[in-house]
Amino acid sequence: MMEKKAILVFLVLTLSLISGQEPEKIDTQKAPWRIHTLFSVECQNYFDWQTVGLMHSYRKAQQPGPITRLLSCTEDERKGYRGMELAPTFEVPSMSRHPKTGDWYPAINKPAGVVHWLKYSKEAENVDWVVILDADMIIRGPIVPWEIGAEKGKPVSAYYGYLIGCDNILAKLHTKHPEFCDKVGGLLAMHIDDLRALAPLWLSKTEEVREDRAHWPTNYTGDIYGTGWISEMYGYSFGAAEVGLRHKINDNLMIYPGYTPREGVEPILMHYGLPFNVGNWSFSKLDHHEDDIVYDCSRLFPEPPYPREITQMESDHNKRRALFLNIECINTMNEGLLLQHAAFKCPKPKWSKYLSFLKSKTFAELSRPKHLTPQSRQMMEIEIHEEVNKEPEKPPPKIEVKIHKEVVNEPEKPHPKIHTIFSTECSSYFDWQTVGLVHSFYKSGQPGNITRLLSCTDEDLKQYKGHDLAPTHYVPSMSRHPLTGDWYPAINKPAAVLHWMNHVKTDAEYIVILDADMIMRGPITPWEFNAGRSRPASTPYDYLIGCDNILAKLHTRHPEACDKVGGVIIMHVDDLRKFALQWLHKTMEVRLDRSHWSKNITGDIYESGWISEMYGYSFGAAELNLRHVISDEILIYPGYVPKPGVNYRVFHYGLEYRVGKWSFDKANWRHTDLVNKCWAKFPDPPDPSSLDQTDNNSLQRDLLSVECATTLNEALRLHHERRKCPDPNTISTPKHDRVNQDRVDETRTNAETRRASAETRTNAETRTSAESRTNADTKTDAETRTNSETRADDEIRTNAEARMAVETTTSTKFGGVDEVQAFRHDEMPKNSSQESSQVETSNGTFTSMRFWIMVLWGVSIFGFLGVMSVMLKGRKGLKKRGKGYKSKRRTTYSGFWDTNGQDRHLRNAETA
């Protein structure tokens, strides 16, 4: 017996030396604390072949401690089930059909199985740390909780960024601590005490979210099918938040085959939840949902390309690493199937080149256990602004989701992840643009998440009210350059992008950069517009003539690579990491080059250097030899004639545009607070049915223009509804609220206004005459400004002080002069009117008040005569009493007017 043991030890040592494995590495099973690995499955062929792959990789990777399969089966399934020997198994009652509600939701078996195991398994009494995995995973190296950074009270998990419910009302509804909600899943490594506290809540929160059908839609959960399938994932995050567990989030430990690992990172877990391919070969787990490959002797998954073929196929080192991961995943599963078939006493398979490879030393070397690198251990830095409500305008309706639940219609996509960003400042001007863009983002079906890069000074931020308008990353303002003192707000765009890249770790592969004054009409994706690594996609900005002349030669070593692009940018995240700093530096460089601001060099007709940021982009990209895919089918300016058949994805309303007599120019709304005042909006564009149908080009142009303005107003309406603004048809008018009284007065119908105006003119001809002169003067002033408004707009951009002065003046672009004045003063939308603001405040009460004033006047005269007859003190005394009485009369007049709550508005109108 002793001889047999000695021989066995000798063979183990020999095999370890042959494979190049150090003997002490095999002893990884020994650990200072007890580890137990769990995974959950059901009684189906689909889970059986996944179990074979996971179990084989568990043994091959030398994962410490025992492993248990939590097997959920109905009674009927259990009777015919063939796979009890596939793994160490703990049977748990199936909750696929909920015993109380009857809801069919197999994913609930995962938390239910964990609860059952903790309660009834003897093994659970002898555990310190638990590693929880999904069945569709391949372990590549030991997962040791304390080695990957787990602590008691701080589990380690992978990042699931698409769980947007952690940011919106979903978390607020289902946990008392929404600020603790972490977007995590997949790999879970935690202390057993934490799991005991969490597991019951994991189950109950899953049931709770599953029953909350009102919040299943995509815009709340990120589930693109809106079926509530990821309720279990939210149950975990909400349950963990409820017990106060904060996760250490690591995005390097686990990788999806098909994704490229970061430099220096060695993933120790593969999650094949998404389809992946190598050349013409591909694999998707959903293609094998009913596959009984475990029980079909000698049958394997289709063989992938060999390592030698991949070496010839791909020269880039990191991309080649990704392809090697792809074939390692499927080869490990096939190797597990071979061994499982042998355990089932299947006939020995016929020799083949592929079988020979799986048994070769080459494959053994490629698939030996992987160990953590310093880069793999790095945790994600998630910025949390607890003082800021980060709930988005409306959560996204379509997210590129990595779903990890086993179902035929699982929403899986092979496309890379996308993140959209845009830059703004702390002002009402950017706030309404933000509302419009964020609303259109969610409506467009754009994959991924969106982030607003908000550049503000400390003083502006203290007064700012729009924190909740979008998911936000806060950036120090560079409007006033800290070194040169140059006032140039446009530099905030590259500065904000650089700050975001340096402070936020994103899991997105591509970044889409937009301007705030845009409306999205459809998704902007790298695969549709052919963007790639070192090959960003953008839209043509042909007026950037500096790319062709001395400007490019002065500011880039590669003027031939200067592309005239801007507006919409689609760039690989690795390119953006290298490019962002160049963008900022080149912007400052061009801005300081005042000797070349002239129109014939830059194309800027106002020669103000305002487009320095655009040149900074083009010159920075040229410096890195980033050549753009230029598409004129991404963006259109409202007011331009569209190309036939082109489905433009973005409106850029940077220029004034018109439809008949109606027009829109964003510059006229720079200081109008449309966001914080209930029901404020832009004047409605013409109805599409009223447009001229004779010229198709003009019709299509006008239809797009109407669509842009309508979308902006729709966004504002939904924003006001979310702010729970009172019904505009039932607004109350409390006596103590004079401002509200003014607003209600202004919303009265034109018919009432005209009647009141007529009565006012009848009783106060002198006042009406003065008002007419004031109104005429105002119109003359507005007409003068209209003739030079284009020049004024650009002077605004050149000089901030001039901008403030010009933009506070009245404009006639949206109807009558006084309509715009009243809107900006009281910030309530109205119909267009050519009547003065004084006339609009007139009403029946005003006429009635005139009558009583005349009565009081008469009484005052009789009283005055009485005083005269009694006092008899001479002419001088009478004059003094007359003056005193005049003061008393004014006081009476003013007091009576104040009781009607309208003196403030009238005085404003008189001084206008």
Give 706-728 pLDDT, tens digit per residue.
Answer: 999 999 999 999 999 999 999 87
Structure tokens at 486: 């140059």
Half-sphere exposure of 663 (CA within 13 A, CB side): 14
Question: Could you read off the pLDDT of 227-256 as tens digits, one per residue?
Answer: 898 999 999 999 999 999 999 999 999 999
Tell me yes or no: is domain 418-634 CATH 2.60.40. no
pLDDT for res 872: 58
| pLDDT band at 748; cut points 50, 70, 90 | very low
- Find how far residue 734's CA is from the centre of its chain: 40
Give the residue-averaged pLDDT of 367-387.
73
Dist. CA 786–CA 701, nearest whole Å: 24
pLDDT for res 30: 52
Q: Helices then strands (H, E): number in the chain? A: 32, 24
Alpha-carbon separation of residue 629 from 497, 540, 563, 619 (angstroms): 21, 10, 9, 16
Query: Is residue 849 within 8 Å of residue 897, measured between CB atoms?
Result: yes
Query: Is residue 498 within 8 Å of residue 491, measured between CB atoms?
Result: no
pLDDT for res 22: 40
Question: 273-308: b or e for each residue (b if 16 or more CB lie within 10 Å)?
Answer: bbbbebeeeebbbeeeeebebbbeeeebbebbbbbe
The structure tokens 């996609």 sit at 537
Least confident span in 265-269, 279-283, 783-787, 861-865 = 783-787
Which residue, 304, 292, 291, is CA-closest to 332? 304
- 97 vs 30, more confident: 97
Dist. CA 494–CA 481, nearest whole Å: 13
Write the burial class of residue 686 (CB in 10 Å: 0-12 exposed, 13-18 middle, 19+ buried).
middle
In the chain, domain spans: 32-148+250-382, 418-634, 651-727
Alpha-carbon torsion (54, 414, 402, 375), positive or negative? positive
Dist. CA 80–CA 90, nearest whole Å: 17
pLDDT for res 873: 55
- What are the percentages of helix, strand and coil residues in the chain, rounded to 5? 50, 15, 40
Which residue, 638, 722, 717, 718, is CA-closest to 679? 717
Structure tokens at 162: 């698409």
pLDDT for res 668: 95
pLDDT for res 515: 97
Query: Is residue 428 within 8 Å of residue 674, measured between CB atoms?
Result: yes
pLDDT for res 731: 52
Structure tokens at 67: 């492993």
pLDDT for res 383: 42
Question: Could you read off the pLDDT of 442-463 as tens digits, one per residue?
Answer: 999 899 999 999 999 999 999 9
Question: Could you read off the pLDDT of 553-610 as tens digits, one per residue?
Answer: 999 999 999 999 999 999 999 999 999 999 999 999 999 999 999 999 999 988 999 9
pLDDT for res 738: 43
Neighbours of 270 (CB within 10 A): 24
pLDDT for res 764: 40
Dist. CA 173–CA 716, nearest whole Å: 25
In the predicted model, is pLDDT for residue 637 greater than 70? Answer: yes
Give the residue-averaged pLDDT of 377-382.
74
Half-sphere exposure of 296 (CA within 13 A, CB side): 10
| pLDDT band at 851; cut points 50, 70, 90 | low
Which residues lie below 8 Å from residue 123, measured CB to CB, with a gap of 6+?
36, 66, 68, 90, 117
Amino acid identity, position 339: L
pLDDT for res 857: 73
pLDDT for res 633: 94
Question: Could you read off the pLDDT of 467-478 as tens digits, one per residue?
Answer: 999 999 999 999
Query: Is residue 73 within 8 Å of residue 43, measured between CB atoms?
Result: yes
pLDDT for res 870: 66
Dist. CA 416–CA 259, nearest whole Å: 8
Instruction: Determine how β-strand 650-652 pairs with β-strand 629-630.
Output: unpaired
Dist. CA 372–CA 677, nearest whole Å: 55
Phi-psi region of 894 (alpha: psi -120 to 50; beta: other; left: phi over 0): alpha
Query: Is residue 656 within 8 Å of residue 668, measured between CB atoms?
Result: no
Question: Could you read off the pLDDT of 385-394 as tens digits, one per residue?
Answer: 333 343 444 4
Mean pLDDT of the chain: 80
Amino acid identity, position 7: I
Question: Could you read off the pLDDT of 861-909 as tens digits, one per residue?
Answer: 777 777 676 665 555 444 444 444 433 333 333 333 333 333 333 233 3
Dist. CA 73–CA 62, nearest whole Å: 29
Query: Is residue 466 within 8 Å of residue 545, measured between CB atoms?
Result: no
* Strand-by-strand arrangement of the 518-520 sheet: 518-520, 650-652, 635-636
Share of the chain above pLDDT 70, in %: 74
Query: Is residue 424 within 8 Å of residue 453, measured between CB atoms?
Result: yes
Which residues lie below 8 Å from residue 880, measured CB to CB, with a gap of 6+?
none
Dihedral Cα 182, 187, 189, 195, nearest 10 deg:
70
Tell me if residue 271 falls in helix, strand or coil. strand
Amino acid identity, position 407: V
In the predicted model, is pLDDT for residue 130 greater than 80? Answer: yes
Question: 763-781: b or e for each residue (b if 16 or more CB lie within 10 Å)?
Answer: bbeeebeebeebbeebbee
Tell me if residue 276 falls in helix, strand or coil. strand
Which residue, 223, 239, 126, is CA-closest to 188? 239
- Find how far residue 167's CA is from the centre of its chain: 10
Question: Could you read off the pLDDT of 767-781 as tens digits, one per residue?
Answer: 333 344 334 343 334
Dist. CA 583–CA 613, nearest whole Å: 8
Dist. CA 265–CA 371, nearest whole Å: 10
- 900 vs 663, more confident: 663
Dist. CA 540–CA 519, nearest whole Å: 18
Tell me if residue 400 falls in helix, strand or coil. coil
